[in-house]
Amino acid sequence: MATLSSSKHCCSSSSVYSSSSSFGFHQPQRNIPFPVVSQKRLGSKSVSWQSKCSPSSNVILMQDGALATKRAATDEAPLSKLKEGLLSVTPPEEHKQLINIDANAGKSTVSITVVGASGDLAKKKIFPALFALYYEDCLPEDLDVKFFLSKTYNDLLPSKWSDNLLLLLVSALYYLWENCSEKMEQFLNRCFYHSGQYDSQQNFVELDKKLKEHEAGRVANRLFYLSIPPNIFVDAVKCASLSASAANGWTRVIVEKPFGRDSESSAALTRALKQYLAEDQIFRIDHYLGKELVENLSVLRFSNLIFEPLWSRQYIRNVQLIFSEDFGTEGRGGYFDHYGIIRDIMQNHLLQILALFAMETPVSLDAEDIRNEKVKVLRSMKPLRIDDVVIGQYKSHTKGGVSYPGYTDDKTVPKDSLTPTFAAAALFIDNARWDGVPFLMKAGKALHNRRAEIRVQFRHVPGNLYNRNFGTDLDRATNELVIRVQPDEAIYLKINNKVPGLGMRLDRSNLNLLYKARYSKEIPDAYERLLLDAVEGERRLFIRSDELDAAWSLFTPVLKELEEKKIIPEYYPYGSRGPVGAHYLAARYNVKWGDIGVDE
């Protein structure tokens, strides 16, 4: 799968979209250490950062591993160059590590440019993730980062505002780590700011110059993170690709959702991106795929003997994918209102988890093999029918003297908006493994709790000897496997068990694995993993164009129908358990939502 070289310039003529909205570049630059040179310069520490963060480092800890593929994919471009650099001076004890990173040999750098540095996502997720990677030595010590905002903002704000802002952001992490302030300073010293217009090739040429300065003639890889509104994706990509592509390394672009609103707009976006980028340069992020327990899903299935035999319609009665937030749009519903919960959560996050859950065993753990299997699942699915969807919208609610606003009370939302803030849907995969098994999805805002989980309900035991202990509804006492993605990551399996004591009473207990109790280390944020993967060229957790197409073709008809027929959402109070319609939908398929059961 590892295709060589992506430093590709596309010539094209796309219409220049101009807008006055501001954008900024965030452009940390990092040098990947490579054995010979960096060792002399930086000492062995620069070598060891790899071991902490990428699998190959595990040689030291426990196993080699898993990540060999990752490594291979990592530094595609410099491959040809590196061999020369390497041979010589390595001290024997470093030998193993050297082998693992030999793809890095030669002088190479990675520059990470965050386009749209002033955005909410950049502040909340990207910078903290970058700093965390830097702190954990996943980024090298000599990383350079500059941080800028566009002129418009600069005019409005005190001159040092931008730097202060970043300082503010990372200082939140201060207490988590020792000697953090020192690291933070180093990190900030490596942040650079470049201001410009997203559609100005001129500004990108300037950026290119600046990057070249820092790259200083080494093999230069460039990662652009587009943290900007979707309507300016293409312009930014055009400029970046034409004017600021790496000359001798790879150039990759991370794109955030939304990837269109439906099949047509998504296909148009993909087409436009592909004018300037090759498929393997596009990294469509779905941060749910970077969550620890979603990552662990495949490990659970494929590295344990006990789950795979059960993983089919023969034993599994239904699967539930549940996402809930305990807050509403809170004054920021402008973007959301245009998309709605189905596009915002279901069509991407939940559907991706479903595909991972249901896929056949891939040939290998390589990105293309996994994504091939995921596409097969998506393409085997029945398009969603409108009868299999329930939508809802939260209304205001007063509880304990506090009053919570309804969705349409949000100033950025039209008063007559029908946009769903809640949806439940039943999906089916028409293949040999899953025929007839309902996959239920549920996603909502302003519900009573915040959680994301996968629930697998098993069938009842055929001819159960203990039937008398269960009453009439055998399905109420079945096994259930729960993978709680957030909060408090956990895996548990509900089993029937004898209540200790004389007599024979059964109840359900959990075989439990609570991550907090088992693993004291903090679990990295999904963005850290995804950024690192993008730098290393590991595409497993990013969405390929054909996956995206398949996902949209499942949801587009129903989305259109909902909008054309102006289906009124069922209203539910802020902070409630959502519309009861979800129960009736579940009941139609003989399912009971596991998260609202009494025993949770």
Partner 1 sequence: MNDEELRNMISRTLTCRIDKRENCEDKMAQFLKRCFYHSGQYNSEEHFLELDSKLKEKEGGRLSNRLFYLSIPPNIFVDVVRCASTKASSTSGWTRVIVEKPFGRDSESSNELTTSLKQYLTEDQIFRIDHYLGKELVENLSVLRFSNLVFEPLWSRNYIRNVQLIFSEDFGTEGRGGYFDNYGIIRDIMQNHLLQILALFAMETPVSLDAEDIRNEKVKVLRSMRLLQLEDVIVGQYKGHSKGGKSYPGYTDDPMVPKNSITPTFAAAALFINNARWDGVPFLMKAGKALHTRRAEIRVQFRHVPGNLYKRNFGTDLDKATNELVLRVQPDEAIYLKINNKVPGLGMRLDRSDLNLLYKARYPREIPDAYERLLLDAVEGERRLFIRSDELDAAWALFTPLLKELEEKKIAPELYPYGSRGPVGAHYLAAKHNVRWGDLAGDE
When asked if residue 163 is in the footprint of partner 1 (CB under 8 A), the reply is no
Alpha-carbon gap, residue 240 to 113, rounded angstroms: 10
Pick one of 45, 332, 411, 518: the residue that binds partner 1 (CB under 8 A): 518
Contact between 263 and 553 under an 8 Å Cβ cutoff? The reply is: yes
Q: Considering only residues 472 through 501, tell me which ones interact with partner 1, judged by CB under 8 A.
A: 477-479, 489, 491-493, 495-501
Whose CA is closest to 23, among 247, 251, 225? 225
The contact mask relative to partner 1 for 68-107 (x = CB under 8 A, - = no) is x-x-------------------------------------
Shortest Å distance, C-beta 176 to partner 1: 15
Q: Considering only residues 363 through 392, tell me which ones interact with partner 1, judged by CB under 8 A.
A: 364-365
When asked if residue 315 is in the footprint of partner 1 (CB under 8 A), the reply is yes
When asked if residue 300 is in the footprint of partner 1 (CB under 8 A), the reply is yes
Task: Identify which of residues 71 and 218 has a Cβ nearer to partner 1 in the complex.
Answer: 71
Residue-wise DSSP of 449-482: --EEEEEEEEPPPTT-TTGGGG-S-GGGG--EEE
Q: Encoding tokens for residue 358?
A: 């249901």
Shortest Å distance, C-beta 364 to partner 1: 7
Alpha-carbon gap, residue 211 to 224, rounded angstroms: 12
219 residue type, one letter:
V
Residue-wise DSSP of 212-238: HHHHTTSEEEEEEEE-S-GGGHHHHHH
Q: Considering only residues 237 through 296, tell me which ones interact with partner 1, judged by CB under 8 A.
A: 292, 295-296
Residue 63 phi/psi, 5-degree rounding, is: -155, 160
Alpha-carbon gap, residue 98 to 100, rounded angstroms: 5
Piece of 18-26, 131-139, 142-150, 217-225 that binds partner 1 (CB under 8 A): 131-139
Per-position b or e across 577-589, b if 16+ CB within 10 A of its CB: bbbebbbebbeeb
Task: Identify which of residues 465 and 568 has a Cβ nearer to partner 1 in the complex.
Answer: 465
Shortest Å distance, C-beta 393 to partner 1: 36
Q: Encoding tokens for residue 465?
A: 């000897």
If you search the block for the tokens 């994504």, which residue do you land on?
371
When asked if residue 432 is in the footprint of partner 1 (CB under 8 A), the reply is no
When asked if residue 460 is in the footprint of partner 1 (CB under 8 A), the reply is yes
DSSP state at residue 487: S
Piece of 82-90, 97-105, 427-435, 512-520 that binds partner 1 (CB under 8 A): 512-520
When asked if residue 400 is in the footprint of partner 1 (CB under 8 A), the reply is no
When asked if residue 173 is in the footprint of partner 1 (CB under 8 A), the reply is no
Shortest Å distance, C-beta 214 to partner 1: 25
Catalytic residue at 194?
no
Shortest Å distance, C-beta 191 to partner 1: 21
When asked if residue 136 is in the footprint of partner 1 (CB under 8 A), the reply is yes
Shortest Å distance, C-beta 433 to partner 1: 15
Shortest Å distance, C-beta 257 to partner 1: 22
When asked if residue 48 is in the footprint of partner 1 (CB under 8 A), the reply is no
Cis upstream peptide for 258 (omega within 30°): yes
When asked if residue 17 is in the footprint of partner 1 (CB under 8 A), the reply is no
Please calculate the CA angle 442-443-449 and round it to the nearest 5 degrees: 105
When asked if residue 212 is in the footprint of partner 1 (CB under 8 A), the reply is no
Pick one of 125, 529, 539, 544: the residue that binds partner 1 (CB under 8 A): 529
Task: Identify which of residues 314 and 403 has a Cβ nearer to partner 1 in the complex.
Answer: 314
CA 471 to chain centre: 43
When asked if residue 177 is in the footprint of partner 1 (CB under 8 A), the reply is no
Contact between 40 and 87 under an 8 Å Cβ cutoff? The reply is: no
Q: Encoding tokens for residue 75?
A: 């530094």
Task: Identify which of residues 196 and 362 has a Cβ nearer to partner 1 in the complex.
Answer: 362
Say which of 26, 194, 287, 349 is annotated catalytic. Answer: 349
Cα→Cα distances 265→141, 194, 272, 273, 280, Å: 42, 31, 10, 12, 21
When asked if residue 5 is in the footprint of partner 1 (CB under 8 A), the reply is no
Q: Could you tell me the sign of the dihedral formed by the alpha carbons of 306, 311, 316, 321, in that order? A: positive
Q: Considering only residues 542 through 581, tell me which ones interact with partner 1, judged by CB under 8 A.
A: none
Piece of 148-156, 157-165, 255-263, 520-528 that binds partner 1 (CB under 8 A): 520-528
The contact mask relative to partner 1 for 334-363 (x = CB under 8 A, - = no) is ---------------------------xx-
- With CB under 8 A, what is the number of residues at the site for partner 1? 78
Shortest Å distance, C-beta 313 to partner 1: 13
Piece of 192-200, 242-250, 308-316, 587-595 that binds partner 1 (CB under 8 A): 308-316
470 residue type, one letter:
F
Q: What is the dihedral of CA 257, 262, 268, 274, to 10 degrees?
A: 40
Cα→Cα distances 551→150, 350, 383, 462, Å: 36, 11, 10, 36
50 C-beta neighbours (distance < 10 Å), count:
23
Q: Considering only residues 578 through 597, tell me which ones interact with partner 1, judged by CB under 8 A.
A: none
Q: Judging by DSSP bridges, how do beta strands 251-255 and 282-285 pair with one another? A: parallel
Shortest Å distance, C-beta 307 to partner 1: 8
Query: Maximum CA pair distance of the chain?
Result: 82
When asked if residue 63 is in the footprint of partner 1 (CB under 8 A), the reply is yes
Piece of 76-84, 133-141, 276-284, 546-554 that binds partner 1 (CB under 8 A): 133-141
Cis upstream peptide for 500 (omega within 30°): no
Tell me which residues are annotated as active site.
Answer: 349
